[in-house]
Amino acid sequence: MSSGLDREADVRARIHQHWEASERGDIDAEHAIYAADAILDYPQSGERFRGRSRIQAQRGGHPAEPQYFAEPFQAPPGRAALAEPIPARDQ
């Protein structure tokens, strides 16, 4: 049985591999980190992308370099077929 530290080291190594692949432009290796049923939420636009293939597809059509967003924005219409709304959270 592996310890929590082993798991954390594995996760960190996978993230490092992901960023290296991204810098090389190796989109297949970049997205291999994700499980086939992964979920990616964009809270600013309220979009949810379900599944590795949809995550990869939406990133392939993204016009900008990797960046962070602070303010909410309208979701681009071209991604509507790939995304679903993020369910509202009870607060």
Q: Quickly list DSSP for 1-58.
A: ---HHHHHHHHHHHHHHHHHHHHHT-HHHHHTTS-TT-EEEETTTTEEEESHHHHHHH
pLDDT at 4 over 90: no
pTM: 0.61
Domain boundaries, given as residue ranges, for the chain: 1-33, 35-62+78-91
Give dist(CA 44, CA 72) in Å, integer: 4
Give dist(CA 44, CA 75) in Å, integer: 9
Band of pLDDT at residue 44, cut at 50, 70 and 90? confident
